[in-house]
Amino acid sequence: MSRLVLYINRDPAKAERAGKLLLEHDYRLVSACGFPEAEEKLAQRQFSFVIYDVRVILEEGAAGFLQMKADHPHLPVVAASPIFEGEPEKTSESKFD
């Protein structure tokens, strides 16, 4: 039986790619475009964990994230950052050497 993952991201193409990857590991993805929609989905179903794009906090502010954590304190949350997205040649260069 698949486990559910809630993915908070405003880009449907990214949600589709993440869903395919997670399905390979027996997870099913449910996507939400922001924290208000995520709260609705969290109220309806049980999720194994949440993945959110950090840009959602930048766009919506931290209040939705903080409310989600307050309402679901034991739910694991993973922050995803697209910092190198679209620039694969730069990901191989270390800026920390």
pTM: 0.77
Identify the pLDDT of residue 97.
41
Among candidate residues 15, 2, 3, the one with its CA nearest the CA of residue 80: 15
CATH placement of domain 3-91: 3.40.50.2300
CA distance 41 to 66: 16
Q: What is the mean pLDDT of each run of 10 residues along the chain (97 residues)?
A: 86 84 90 93 95 87 91 92 56 42
By the 8 A CB rule, do 51 and 27 touch? no
Beta bridge partners of 77: 50
